[in-house]
Amino acid sequence: MLRLRRYRVFVICAFVVLFLLYHVSRNSQWDSVEPNVYDKVARPHYTKPKTEDDVDADTPRPGGPPQRPPLGHHEQAVEPVPPKKEQDIKIPQLKTTSEVKGGYGLPKVVPTTTSAATKAQNTDKAPVADTFPTIKLPDRVDESKDQEAPIHVWKPPKKVEDLNTAAAAIHWKKPKEWFPVPKESIIPLPTGSPKPMPSVQHKFKEETKAQKEKRETRLAKVRAEAMRAWSGYKQFAWTHDELTPVTKHGKDPFCGWAATLVDSLDTLWIMGLKDEFDEAVKAVKEIDFTTTPYRSDIPIFETIIRYLGGLVGAYDVTGGHDGKYRVLLDKALELAEILMSVFDTPNRMPILYYNWQPEFNENPKRASTSVSVAEIGSMGMEFTRLAQLTGEDKYYDAIARITDALEELQNRKDGTALPGIFPQQLDASGCNRTAAAEATLQKQATDVSADSEEPEGYASTRYGSTQSSRTKSTGAKDLEFEVKPGSRPSEPGSGSFHGVSKRELDSAVEERADDATEATSDMQERDSLSERSPISAKGLPANWECVPQGLASGSWGMDSYSMGGSQDSAYEYFPKQYALLGGLEPKYRTMHEKTVAAVKKYLLFRPMAKGDPDILFSAKASSSDNTDKNLHYEWEITHLTCFLGGMFGLGGKLFDSPEDVEIGKRLTDGCVWAYEVMPTGIMPEFSMALPCQKVDDCHWNQTAWYEHLDPESAWRKTQLEEYNVKRAKWKEEVQKLKDEEERRLKAESAAKADTAAQKTSQGAGEEAHHHHSRRDLSGDGDDEKLIEEKVEKLESELDLNSQGGYQTRNEDVQKPVGEIYYPIEPVKPLTHEEFVEERIKRERLVPGFASLNDRRYILRPEAIESVWYMYRITGDPIWQEKGWRMFESIIKATQTEVGHSAIDDVTTAEEAMPTDSMESFWLAETLKYFYLLFTTPDVISLDEWVFNTEAHPFRRPTAAT
C-alpha cells in the first residue's frame, strides 16, 4: 500500500506536469521551431556579413541554404523529406519475404549479339578482363570493425517560395578590382596545334537490324521520360530552378535563374527536341544574372557547373560560332563577368560563396580558410572553354592559377599525407596562420622587453579607457591599443579607432582566420572593425598583409582523402582538361597520373560480396598526423564516387593505360552491383562495405560478415552460457515446487478421502462462492476504491510497475487460493546468429553491406555516367544491358505524374516514399547519359567531346584542324 501511495503521488504530479507542458507548448512557438519547408517559408532576410574578406566563409548564409559543410559535386542537392500524408504513414515492417537473392545476379537478359565475346561476358560473373585479368593493389586491412559507421547528417536547403521584393531591386555592379593581374602576367591559353591522342571510343561495327530495333525502342523510352520531366517543369515550374515533382511547384535553391532550364538545354538539343529547345532559349534571354531575390550569396561551384557549363555546352552542341544561338554565349559571358570577381583576391584563389550585393562586393576579399577541393578545383573546364570561344586569356588565367596551386600542393613535401591527392578541406586564404601566430608570440616577447624603453612621444592607452595617458603602459598584457603620435586617441563607443596597432589588427585577423564561423557570427562587430581599420595607400586595410603561403590543409585535426563528395570533380577535371586543351598543357596529365597512382595505392578496395563479384570501390582514408602511417579507413560505397569508373576509363584511354581502363570497369561494375543487389534495383546514397584483404583472393564469408555486424559474439556466448546455468537452476526449482505441490495435494486428497464420509451432507462450491463475494466487495461504489482503481489503471498504462518486475504484477493479479508462485523463467538472450539475423531484417541489410547509412536515391547520374563511358570505351553491349536495368529500376521507383522524384529508401520497393525533389541534374545528366547509351555511338563521341562534371559536352580541339 505504501508503494501504491507513492505512485499515486507520482502519477498526480506527472499529470500536473503534463498538463502544464501542454499549455506551455500551445502558447509558445514550439510548433514553428522546425517550419515545414514545404509551407511558405519566411522570406530570406539579408543581413550584413561582418566584413568583406571572408564572404565565402562556410558560415550560415542569409537567405541561402542553411549552414553545411562545404560539399562537393551536387551535394547541395540534398532534399528534405516532404511531409507524408496522414494515411501514408506506415509502420516499418520487418521484411521477411523479399530477402535479396544473393550473388551477383547479372544478366537475365538475352544477349543482343551472337558474338562469342559477348556470350562470354554474359555469364553471371562480372566481365573478366581479356588483357589484364589481375590488378595489383596493396592489401587492405579492415580496422574499422569495431567502429560505428558514421551517420551522415544531411542539411536540407531552405525553400524560398516568395520574393523579397526589396532585395530584388538590388543589382550586382562590377566592383573595383583590388588585386588585378598585370597584363604581362596573365597566363595565356597554351598555343600550338593539338596533340594527337589515342581515341577514347571503341570502333563500333554496324549493328544488326534486331539490335537497332531494340536500341531504338529503349531510346524512345528514355526520351519519353525526359519529356515527362521537361513537361512537368514547363507546366509547373517554368523559369524556376526546380520542379517539385509531387506537389507540382517551383523552387529556387540556385538563385532562381532557372537552373533546370539552363541545365537541360543541351539535353533537349541532343534528344532532338528542337521546339522545346527554342522555347527555352527565349527564356534564357530573360534571365538576369545581376540579381537574385533568393540568396545573398552565389554558390560559385554550382553556378559554374550548372549555369555556365549549361550555357557553354548548349552553345557548343548547337554549332558554336557557326550555330544560330549566339545568345547562349552572350549569356555565358554575362554570367562570367560576374563570376570573375570572385578571383579578385590577393592570391587569386576564388571566393566560393559570393556576396554579390554591392554593399559587400566593393570591399577587398580573401578566399576562405576552409574550402572543399571539389569546389575550388572544378572550374577549369568551363572557363577554359570560354577562353577558347572568346580568345580572352583572362578566363584561362583565373583557373590556371588554381591548377598551379593544386600542382604545387600535390608536389610539396608534407603538403599532403597521401602524395598525389589532396586533403578534402583546404585553406585557400593564402595566409599562414601558424607563421602569424609565431610572429605574434615573438612580438609579444619583444614588447615586454621593449616596454621600458618606450620612445618619447608614443602614447599608450588601454582599450576602453577614456584617458589618453602619456605614462608608460603597465605591461604588455594590458596593452591592447597603441596610439601613435599624432593620431587620435581611441574613444569608447566612437566606432572609429584610427591608429590602432598592427598587433591588434593581427590578432583580429587571426581570430577571424582561426574561426571563421565565430568571426562572422557577429556581423555588427565585423563592420565596425572594418570601419576602424586604417586604410593603406592602396586603399586596403592596414592589417591586410599576412605571411603568404600556398594551398594548405584546411583542417587542424583529421584530414580526409577520398574520391567522394567534396573532392570528386577536382580529380575528374585533370584528364578532361588535358583533352579540352588538346594535350597542350602536360601538367594535367602528370596531375592525373599522380592522382591515379595514389588512388590505387591507398583507396581502392574489393568488397566482400556474395558470389565474389570482381568489383572495386574507393574508400575514404583519414590521417591525423599528415602522414600515411596511421590511416583510418571508411570502406564507403557512395553514389557520388561512382563517377570514378568513367574517370579511370577516360584517363586510361587518353594516356594509354589499359590497367586503368580495367580498373574503371571494375569500379563501374561495383556501382552496377550496388544497384542490382538492392530491392529497388537502385544503389543507396551512402553505405559501407567490408573490404577483402586481398584483391585477388576475395571470398564471401558469411561468418566474417556476421562478425562485422555483431562484434560481440564472444560476450553473447558467455551470456548464453550464464543463461543455461540459470535456466537449469530455475528448472530445478520449479520441479521442486511442483513436487512439493504434488505432495501437498496428495496429502490433502488423502485427508479429504478420510473425511469424505463424514462431510457428505455439506454442499460443494464454497470456494467459488467465496471468490465471487470478494469481487463484489471490491466492486462496491466506494469513492476511494474507485479512485484507487483509476490510479491503478493509469499506473499500468504508464507502465510504472514494469520497473518493479514481475513480482509486483503478479501481486495484483487475483490468483485462485492455493496456487503456487513459480520463479520467473530467465529470458533467453539472443545468440550471435539470432542477433545478426534480427539486425539484418530490421535494417534490411543486403549481404556485403556493413551498414546502409543514407538510403535515398536522389536521381543522381554518376553510376550511369560510368556505365556509359564503359560502353563507349569498350563497345561491349553488356553495358547497355546493365544501364537498361538501372533505367527501368529508377523509372519504376521515381516516376511521378509530372516528372520524377528522389526517394527516401532504396531498400524497400514497397515503402519507398518520394521526397518531392527533382534536381536539375536529372535532366542535365542522368537522362542524358541514359539517352546517349542508346543512341548510335557517333552522337557526342568522346573523341570529339569532353563533358564537364554536370554532363555538359564541350567540343574538343581535334588534331586534324
Ligand X SMILES: *[C@@H]1O[C@H](CO)[C@@H](O)[C@H](O)[C@H]1NC(C)=O
Could you give the residue numbers annotated as active site?
A: 302, 568, 685, 862
Residue nearer to ligand X on the CB measure, 187 or 437: 437
Q: Give the type of residue at 916.
A: D
Residue nearer to ligand X on the CB measure, 527 or 545: 545
166 is a contact residue toward ligand X (CB under 6 A) = no
CA-based nearest residue to 534, from 566, 561, 564, 502 = 502
In whole angstroms, the minimum distance from the beta carbon of 377 to ligand X comes to 18
Residue nearer to ligand X on the CB measure, 585 or 710: 710
In whole angstroms, the minimum distance from the beta carbon of 418 to ligand X comes to 17
354, 55 Cβ separation under 8 angstroms: yes
| Grid cell listed for 165 | 521584393
Taking CB under 6 A as the criterion, the residue among 438, 742, 748, 767 binding ligand X is: 438
Residue nearer to ligand X on the CB measure, 367 or 579: 367
478-487 LR contacts (CB < 8 Å, sep 24+): 479/447, 480/504, 482/458, 483/458, 483/459, 484/458, 485/457, 485/458, 485/459
- Cα–Cα distance between 293 and 162 in angstroms, integer? 9
| Grid cell listed for 495 | 566606432
What residues contact residue 739 under an 8 Å CB cut-off, 6+ apart? none
Taking CB under 6 A as the criterion, the residue among 552, 599, 690, 933 binding ligand X is: 552
Can you spell out the DSSP letters for 259-270? Answer: HHHHHHHHHHHH
Taking CB under 6 A as the criterion, the residue among 76, 432, 560, 874 binding ligand X is: 432
In whole angstroms, the minimum distance from the beta carbon of 547 to ligand X comes to 6
Residue nearer to ligand X on the CB measure, 6 or 145: 145
Give how far the C-alpha of residue 324 lies from the chain's centroid of Cα atoms, to the nearest Å: 39
Residues numbered 345-404 forming contacts with ligand X, rule: CB under 6 A: none
689, 849 Cβ separation under 8 angstroms: yes
CA-based nearest residue to 489, from 462, 463, 468, 465 = 468
Maximum distance among all Cα pairs of the chain, rounded to whole angstroms: 130
Residue nearer to ligand X on the CB measure, 331 or 832: 832
Binding mask 645-674 for ligand X (x = CB under 6 A): ------------------------------
What backbone torsions phi and psi does residue 146 show, to the nearest 5 degrees?
-95, 20
In whole angstroms, the minimum distance from the beta carbon of 545 to ligand X comes to 15
In whole angstroms, the minimum distance from the beta carbon of 635 to ligand X comes to 15
139 is a contact residue toward ligand X (CB under 6 A) = no
The DSSP H or E segment spanning 561 is strand 559-561
Residue nearer to ligand X on the CB measure, 429 or 915: 429
425, 212 Cβ separation under 8 angstroms: no
What residues contact residue 332 under an 8 Å CB cut-off, 6+ apart? 308, 311, 312, 315, 386
In whole angstroms, the minimum distance from the beta carbon of 686 to ligand X comes to 25
In whole angstroms, the minimum distance from the beta carbon of 598 to ligand X comes to 20
What residue has cell string 550496388?
674
Residue nearer to ligand X on the CB measure, 408 or 733: 408
Q: Is 668 assigned a ligand-binding role in the annotation? A: no
Write out the E strands in 691-732: none
707 is a contact residue toward ligand X (CB under 6 A) = yes
Question: Which region among 371-379, 429-437, 884-892, 906-914 touches ligand X (by CB under 6 A)?
Answer: 429-437
In whole angstroms, the minimum distance from the beta carbon of 136 to ligand X comes to 22
What residues contact residue 189 under an 8 Å CB cut-off, 6+ apart? 384, 387, 388, 393, 396, 581
434 is a contact residue toward ligand X (CB under 6 A) = yes
CA-based nearest residue to 649, from 669, 635, 676 = 669
- Cα–Cα distance between 412 and 899 in angstroms, integer? 49
Residue nearer to ligand X on the CB measure, 218 or 503: 503
What residues contact residue 71 under an 8 Å CB cut-off, 6+ apart? 372, 374, 375, 565, 566
| DSSP 8-state symbol, 680 | T
CA-based nearest residue to 436, from 526, 513, 367 = 513
Number of residues that bind ligand X (CB under 6 A): 10
Taking CB under 6 A as the criterion, the residue among 113, 528, 530, 549 binding ligand X is: 549
Q: Give the type of residue at 400.
A: A
Sign of CA dihedral 184, 188, 193, 198: positive
441 is a contact residue toward ligand X (CB under 6 A) = no
Residue nearer to ligand X on the CB measure, 408 or 525: 408
In whole angstroms, the minimum distance from the beta carbon of 412 to ligand X comes to 8
In whole angstroms, the minimum distance from the beta carbon of 708 to ligand X comes to 8
Distances (CA, A) of 716 to 702, 723, 728, 761: 18, 10, 18, 63
- Cα–Cα distance between 599 and 664 in angstroms, integer? 12
In whole angstroms, the minimum distance from the beta carbon of 662 to ligand X comes to 26
442 is a contact residue toward ligand X (CB under 6 A) = no
Binding mask 686-705 for ligand X (x = CB under 6 A): ---------------x-xx-
In whole angstroms, the minimum distance from the beta carbon of 498 to ligand X comes to 31
Distances (CA, A) of 286 to 269, 283, 327: 20, 5, 11
Compute, in degrees rounded to 10, the torsion defined by CA atoms 752, 756, 761, 766: 20
| Grid cell listed for 144 | 574499422
What residues contact residue 8 under an 8 Å CB cut-off, 6+ apart? 791
- Cα–Cα distance between 359 and 709 in angstroms, integer? 55
Residue nearer to ligand X on the CB measure, 345 or 432: 432
- Cα–Cα distance between 882 and 704 in angstroms, integer? 29
What backbone torsions phi and psi does residue 434 show, to the nearest 5 degrees?
-65, -50
Residue nearer to ligand X on the CB measure, 278 or 697: 697
Residues at the site binding ligand X, with contacts judged by CB under 6 A: 432, 434-435, 438, 549, 552, 701, 703-704, 707
Known binding residues are 949
Binding site membership for Ca(2+): which residues?
A: 949
